[in-house]
Structure 1
Amino acid sequence: MNFELNEFTNIPNCYHIFNFVNDSQFESTCNVVNVSQFESTCENLIKEMSFYFKQASFEGLKILNPNPNGNIPQYFYSDNIIYLTVWDGIRESQIIYQLAHELCHYFMKKGIKNDELKYFEETVCDLSSHFFLRNKPQKIHKVYDDETLMNITEIDLSYSTSYDRYNREQNTYIAKLLLPIFEKTPSLWSEVPKLADIEASTIGKLLDLWKNKATAEHKKAIQEIQNIFK
């Protein structure tokens, strides 16, 4: 079967492809997503995150599945493409988990400028996965969300430490600490794109400048984020 780029039904100029590979073994045991389910799940999440991030336009964004570059989700700023890796038998939860992370990168455009602080961008995008999964019924989020956060190893966080951008366990632990702050003040997501406009040499300076850029209602929440570092 050939698959073509499709425009989302309710999001103009935003496109998707879901290359579904049929597998009868998976079909007999799992809730297999299909093209229409893929579109509706992506579309609903795009609308939800658009509301929280205060972003209205998705001009030319493409969400493609699978990723020809490998078995990992990715966002390419230069091409305005999000690649997912959703396979047969995968539930709605994995679509949300992957897409929420990559859409967070999309809303941050080129992302945090300093490569040494990219771990904080990855952390916030990891947080996005957990936050938006938790907005769904428990049957959707419990596998990817609850088990991951319950079993994560604690680490000591320091302003002076340079953390590895792609250390998922470390990033997820920080995301776990950020989650209650964002759940208490969900409008804080509207401040996240501002992180991409900041020139900073350390995480301390990044958070200070972010707090300065933030509206008055969000300064306290960002101060709580600063407090998790020592």
Structure 2
Amino acid sequence: MRIVVIGGTGLIGSKLVTWLEGQGHEAVAASPKTGVNALTGEGLAGALAGAHVVVDVSNSPSFEAAQVMEFFETSTRNLTAAEASAGVGHHVALSVVGTGRTPTNDYFLAKRAQEELIAKSGIPFSIVHATQFFEFVRGIADEATHDGRVRIAPVRFQPIAGDDVAEAVGRAALGAPLNGGIEVAGPDQFRMDEFFREALASWGDTREVVTDPHARYFGTEVSERALVPDEDAALGRIHYRDWPGRKP
């Protein structure tokens, strides 16, 4: 099977291409680095020729409200139009758990808009909603740092390893279109402030983690279960305590 991975040279995309090739499929890494730009449409027609499945794991280079919305709406319109012309039978997209639960978060709003465009495109589709990646945990701590203290809300948190995300997306790509979505998350759920307190200690990071019910997650206060999946979510196999990237 020929599967084109949009964003195929990025964190999840590169892992996904490797996983798909390991399953015996032809996986094409498509990104601006390889001459394929979903935002401008450059190279799409050639890349999608003969593709059975297109997987979109691309991400906006900016999280500013207007730019992130423009990225996901424009790239998705370009992709689905090119897929229709190429006769692609399955569109798979990686999204985020909780896009409908945090309506004031600019990134979540943009991902929700992307999902709606996919659903209306007429192309059979599957959307994989993932929780936050282990690889981004340090960035979350840095973004939450103010005056040298890491302010984290005491809400539920269930991060997942990038390798587990890639496998979940890969399995969706190889399966029949769901015309809906699935959720994937790490095997362990934590209270977010306690997770970061232990994580920073394991890194040897001396910043104090402050429990703050009004702490913002990338600019938005989140509710108790906004960042975690429902009970029927598929769970990854890699525990954070065992993840090789946990320590420096």
Name the TM-score, length of structure 1 as normaliser.
Answer: 0.28
Instruction: Give the number of the structure whose residues are more often helix, by fraction.
Output: 1
